[in-house]
Structure 1
Amino acid sequence: MPQFSAQLHPGRGLGFFALGTSMHDALTRIKAEPLTFPKIELKHDSAEPLKTPTVVELPANGLRFRFDGPEQRLRLIEIIDFTKNHVYVKQANDKERDLVRPESAGEITGPSFRHIYQRFLGPTYAGEYIKQSGVYILSYPGVAFTFPMKESDYDPSKDIISLIPANEVATSMAVFSGESWTEACKTMWTEVLPSVKTYPPFAKTKDASPDEVSLIKIHGGGKLQVFRKWTKNCFWIYLGETTPQQILAELGPPDSIYYKNDQRMFIHKTRGASNTMVRPQGNDLRQDDLTDTDLSSHPASDDSSREETIEDDVDYSGTEERFMNYFYQGFDIMLSTQAEPSVPPPSQTGDKEVPGPPFKSGSANRLVATKLILHGNVPGSYPFNRHRRCRWEIAYLSPPGDEGTRADSETPFSEVEEKLREEWKSVYASEAEAKQKQRGMVLNRGWGDSPGSSIEMLGGWEEGTTGTHPRSTGGKKKYDGTEDSTTTLYGFPGLVFEVLRNGFVSAVTVF
């Protein structure tokens, strides 16, 4: 097995692992090198997967990564076994200096205090003694080392040279953002980290890709406000009006395109006492919108569908429905001929603060964005790590400045559902009709022949083929009982939620 070798960048990262990297990007890179990283262990709180950190451990490499729950960004890099990796820093003369000296790597299990203090990083201020753990943390800006220490050996009046024996070996190392470990612990999970594009190994490359999307605000009536990470810039997507060319100008080319042509759930379009082949009004939950949630990234394993990766210019002429898959942004955009978006929410009737489209498309047969599918990438869910996590917020349910009442991607669905029912109750003739329209539809992704079995597993992973978008790691994806494969779909005007058993939203479709 090739040994993982990486340059240490205190406060920024280790090798190609940069603080602030999304969990999707990190796991995709790890899976792309199975010889170097043969084993991956993922640990999370199944009851609160979006509020507590997720831990990714590489036992064969002695590495551990901690990601925050809401954004799923890398906040802490740890080396827990120095013998399974090679870490170095570059000095001013561009010479490399190893964390564990090669001549002693076979004799000790990690770097000695003398080597760290005298040759690797140099002198530093006094560290911190953690009584509960029995360890002393030697801290530098952006990096810290842990040394075992008995409570009887600790004396706050002594300096660190007197406290730690010169040959004492560090048991672990942490890379974080901050001037010291003590200060970093206060803001580690909430600090806004700089763009990974400014990380030294990445800054040297010519990457013209747009900044990541950090938040999508759903304003109702088919209006979505898209915010970029690390900037104050935003742009609008108007369902039924925004063209593929406008999307490409803002987001760049998609990672793949999926052509939608699957009629296995067509029966639900005609369900009811009367003929409902006519397109329903915006106030009603459209059953075809429920099924389209599952077709955004359906496996292209039969003759009724096909998929293309984006290498050259794609022809967006014609009227065939298709999905633009942005795996690294966390959402899919459906393109089809013009259709009226859902009606605005009652509380926004006549609201002029939400701008309308700058112009109306003149051709009824022109392809426009008609739906967005926003993926939650919830740990433990069946489609986990197919897309980066996309954060969203229902703007008309979230009063400005009131953080406690927001309806967003981290809010349990039961709370979102309660607010939506209150918002939309006036559009239904009775409470019984509202319950009928808002009842759930159960979905099982563990069955390979189910039309809803792989909402995001584009590329036929259930059939054992490799992933097909340009940066996919491929591999076989089969249900083994560890993933939450059964979900429930709930519909409201303009919205369809896919909800996991733990009550969190795995995906939301906006139409």
Structure 2
Amino acid sequence: MFSTLEMDLRPGSGLGMFVIGTSLWTVLDILRGAQHFFPQVDLKYDPDSPTTPIILHLRPHLDLLFTGYQQRLHTISVRKLRDPHPPLAMAYKKAILSSSEEVLRRVGVSRMFGPTYPGDDLRYPGVSFSFEEDGRGETLKNPVSLPDDRQQEVKRVIISQKSLDGEQRDALDEVTECPVMAGELSQAILKIHEGVTLYFYPTGSEPIQILLGSSTAQDLMCDLGPPVRTHYKEDDRMTIHMSGPEADTDGDYFYNYQQHGIDFLISGSTHTVKKIVVHSNVPGTPLFQRYKRCPWEIQGRPEDDEDESPPRKRFYERVEEIQHFIAPGEAPPSMILNRTDDEDGLRLPSSTTRLFGYDGIILEATESGQAVTVMLF
């Protein structure tokens, strides 16, 4: 026997526990705690591009569409309203719209939401109601009108952000800034040999600067709050590749700010930041969903003192372009890293990555050329 899934409809804002503008990382974290309602989650994405939209299919009722760049919830599609596995009860302003006993029809929508413009679907700001299960519109509709259109059964409900101009939002548009984003990272500007400048929502908030060799663990605690996780550095295998004498790393530890997609390696002796690691949260890679996508940009040198917009390369650009930006000319030899070596039985489509080392920065990229992490040191 399934428990009824009770969800309140909020046009332009969300449905139940799902809020428009929430990050993919946060939604998947929520779903881990709701496995009794959503035991199976299918994630659909384009393995060749880090910036195409991602769809979470929560059987049998929900499809959640996330934007390609920000990875934020853009559209919620509700279907199979009367499927009993589990039964769904959808309410609006505390009145039941649809349930296993209550069939949602055209006349019911009109009574609840009022008049709207003519068309195959009933469209209101932030929500629309479709009478086609697959949403393909009149191309598959029977040209013969129903005897009583008022009794047409609603097959899909679509919730999305309200558009400022009243037009329907495109599925490829990014989500505009909204309250659920407050306190989250909007931009991370990386400067080689210097550090990172972090910008947060709401837009206009004072940025935070983290400097290599200068910012301390206490600074991080004051500026970013306590990390989600702290652990001591135990893997020193990369030190074998150092050209000089191996540095003392005893006692070094990481502050993991997974909610921002950033790690900081802190010296065990000076307690200053030694390394900064940012993560792109690319689906199909071993680190996917361990970190929220960090919207990082690598900033180059300004052309002169008056240059207010120095050149940058961003997380979604091909690693070949980023390499040429960092050091024009032939790319350095790469090292192969398989992050699943320590995970017996784990198989992923992009488990093997390549490490490209430069003075002050290391790029980790998939075989298809997507940058999954960047490390400053």
Alignment of structure 1 residues 79-478 onto 2, 5 Å: 79-84=78-83, 85-90=88-93, 96-101=94-99, 103-105=101-103, 111-118=104-111, 121-128=112-119, 136-148=120-132, 149=138, 150=141, 152=143, 165-179=149-163, 183-186=167-170, 189-196=173-180, 211-232=183-204, 233-269=206-242, 276-277=244-245, 320-336=251-267, 365-396=269-300, 406-422=312-328, 438-448=332-342, 462=343, 478=345
1:223-269 deviations in whole A, cap 9, x for unaligned?
32111122222111111010111111111110110111333444333
1:10-35 deviations in whole A, cap 9, x for unaligned?
10111111111000000111122211
Amino acid at match of 1:71: Q
1:272-321 deviations in whole A, cap 9, x for unaligned?
xxxx2166xxxxxxxx9xxx9xxxxxxxxxxxxxxxxxxxxxxxxxx721
Using the TM superposition, give the Cα deviation of residue 117 of structure 1 relative to its aligned residue in structure 2, in angstroms. Answer: 1.1
Amino acid at match of 1:442: I
Measure, in 1, the Cα distance between the counterparts of 2:80 and 2:130: 12
Identity %: 27
Change (3 A) 1:505 1:164: farther
The alignment of Structure 1 onto Structure 2 pairs a total of residues equal to: 361
Q: Which structure 2 segments of 5+ residues have no match?
A: 133-137
Measure, in 1, the Cα distance between the counterparts of 2:184 and 2:222: 14
Match of 2:82, SS state, is helix
Structure 1 residue runs of 4+, over 6 Å off? Answer: 397-403
8 Å contact kept, 1:398–1:407: no
Match of 1:183, SS state, is coil
Change (3 A) 1:401 1:245: closer
Measure, in 2, the Cα distance between the counterparts of 1:146 and 1:235: 46
Change (3 A) 1:238 1:172: same
The root-mean-square deviation of aligned C-alpha atoms, in Å, is 2.8
Change (3 A) 1:265 1:411: closer
Measure, in 1, the Cα distance between the counterparts of 2:213 and 2:276: 11
Measure, in 2, the Cα distance between the counterparts of 1:181 and 1:29: 32
Change (3 A) 1:211 1:398: farther
8 Å contact kept, 2:57–2:63: yes
8 Å contact kept, 2:50–2:316: no
Change (3 A) 1:398 1:124: farther
Amino acid at match of 1:126: Y
What residue is the counterpart of 1:57 in the other structure? Answer: 57
Q: Which structure 1 segments of 5+ residues have no match?
A: 91-95, 106-110, 129-135, 155-161, 198-209, 271-275, 280-287, 293-318, 338-364, 426-433, 449-461, 464-477
What TM-score does the superposition give when structure 1 sets the normalisation length? 0.65
Match of 1:82, SS state, is coil
Measure, in 2, the Cα distance between the counterparts of 1:97 and 1:196: 25
8 Å contact kept, 1:398–1:406: no
Higher strand share: 2
8 Å contact kept, 2:75–2:171: no
Match of 2:92, SS state, is strand
**Structure number, greater radius of gyration:** 1
Using the TM superposition, give the Cα deviation of residue 144 of structure 1 relative to its aligned residue in structure 2, in angstroms. Answer: 0.5
Measure, in 1, the Cα distance between the counterparts of 2:259 and 2:42: 22
Match of 2:68, SS state, is coil
